[in-house]
Structure 1
Amino acid sequence: MSEPVTERPTDGERRARAALESSGVPFDLTRHGPVSSLAEAAAARGVEPADVIKTIVVRRGDEDYLFVLVPGDRAISWPKLRALLGVSRLSMPDAGTARGVTGYERGTITPFGSLRELPVVSDSRVPGRPVSIGAGAHGVAATLAGSDLVRALAATVADVTEPAEG
């Protein structure tokens, strides 16, 4: 069980929570202290590491970004993602660019409440099970049905990941 966090919600957390609430999908918000690993984050949220969903910002071109939802135990398969998107090149923006696009710093990025509405690609392992996704601040997450998550975000669902190394 995680210790209660008494800090005031950040602007990012408020923005993410408002977007989650307006999506109409049921979710549970978890606030926990700092974590230093995927296993610690999963334990604090009461889920398995594979159920912690990472939100990755990917750059497709000049001022053209998207979100990719990746299970915690997996990594983006760049060849699969390029094939899905029909492009020959993709990259990850630096932390400052990602923050400028989303309003969130790395480690807190979520599609919910992003400054810019971006297309979402979800790995095919996300729907059909409970998942936990960041909610706009360190130590804050929303747990919800993966199928509700992809539906609320109008995500394209495809096999775009591979097992994470190490």
Structure 2
Amino acid sequence: MIIVSSPAIAAVTAAGIAHDVVRHGPVSSVAEAAAVHQVEVRDLVKTLVVRRAAGDYLFVLVPGDRVISWPKLRALLGVNRLSMPDAATAKDVTGYERGTITPFGASTAWPVIADERTRGRFVALGAGERGVALRVGADAAVEALRGTFADVTDEA
């Protein structure tokens, strides 16, 4: 058995959230990734970093079969403009490289907004390392992260 440790795994463990750690190799499709994680495609959750203003970011948790709805997210946040940082900035503000980003154990505890379609689901999130994921209950994860659920996505 391979023991995997990362700030994300340490954070989810410290929060007392029931979770599984899944180590996997490269995958070539969303369907293959879902099979590896033993979840439906909609339960593969992408953690996206969104910039509100200089030095002000948030995490948006997006189901694998959906995309951010920029109009919905802007309306929810009461702002006219949002953007996604480049890869280097995302790493600087989270401590994680793109493809591994998770709100758990991030270098800054940015606010978290989870798409409402994750509520009540068992989801797979990044675990801070390539080829490693966390499977967690979305409700427990969002609660531990002091996040909120909202309708912030559209069909892909």
| TM-score interval, smaller chain | over 0.9
Q: What does the per-residue CA deviation read over 1:89-139, in whole Å, with 9 as the maximum and x for residues that have no partner?
A: 000000000000111111000000101110001100111111111111111
Q: CA RMSD in A?
A: 1.3
**Residues 6 and 129, structure 2, Cα contact 8 Å, conserved in 1:** no
Matched, 1:91 2:55: no
Give the aligned length.
156
Q: Hey, what's the Cα distance between the residues in 2 that align with 1:55 and 1:37?
A: 18
Matched, 1:152 2:144: yes
Question: Any idea what SS the aligned residue of 2:6 has?
Answer: helix
**Residues 53 and 133, structure 1, Cα contact 8 Å, conserved in 2:** yes
Q: Which residue of 2 aligns with 1:77?
A: 69
The amino acid that maps onto 1:65 is Y
Matched, 1:37 2:8: no
Select the residue among 96, 99, 111 that pairs with 1:104: 96
Question: Any idea what SS the aligned residue of 1:142 has?
Answer: strand
Question: Any idea what SS the aligned residue of 1:83 has?
Answer: helix
State the shift of 1:63 in Å. 0.5
The amino acid that maps onto 2:12 is L
Q: Which residue of 2 aligns with 1:53?
A: 45
State the shift of 1:153 in Å. 1.1
State the shift of 1:152 in Å. 1.2
Q: Hey, what's the Cα distance between the residues in 2 that align with 1:77 and 1:154?
A: 22
Question: Any idea what SS the aligned residue of 2:117 has?
Answer: coil
Q: What does the per-residue CA deviation read over 1:9-55, in whole Å, with 9 as the maximum and x for residues that have no partner?
A: 4xxx5111100101111001111111132212111111111000100
Runs of 4+ in 1 over 2 A off after TM superposition: none
State the shift of 1:142 in Å. 0.9
Q: Which residue of 1 aligns with 2:125?
A: 133
Give structure 2 stretches of 5+ with no counterpart: none
The amino acid that maps onto 2:23 is R
Question: Any idea what SS the aligned residue of 1:128 has?
Answer: coil
**Residues 52 and 72, structure 1, Cα contact 8 Å, conserved in 2:** yes
TM-score, normalised to structure 1, is 0.90
